[in-house]
Amino acid sequence: MNERELARYLDETVDPAETVAALPESALADLADALYRHLDTPSPPFGAHSWYIQVTDELRMRRLTAAELEAAGSDDQGSAGAAGRGFPTV
């Protein structure tokens, strides 16, 4: 992501929460990387830190949700299998 593309996100007219929620995970990862690189400069763009926090929180939430869904799916299959074999389910 170049500086012009990043500047579109940092534009004050863009709602960070709405924009971040609408982006696919790959685009969020690219944006997080670009923001991180810009934060590591002597004078990062205004708002970059807030955007970085918003993006990383969204990525973390999505990954935790995906992991929870995956774990729930494997638990459901395990319970069904045990019940089918005559074992009590908890």
Q: Mean pLDDT in runs of 10 for the chain (90 residues)?
A: 84 83 93 93 89 94 86 69 49
Distance, CA of 39 to chain centre: 19
d(CA 65, CA 59): 10
**CA dist list (Å): 80 to 45, 66, 76, 88:** 53, 21, 6, 10
pTM for this one?
Answer: 0.71
| Two structure tokens written together for 61 | 């939430």
* Domain residue extents for the chain: 3-84
- C-beta of residue 62 within 8 angstroms of C-beta of residue 26: no
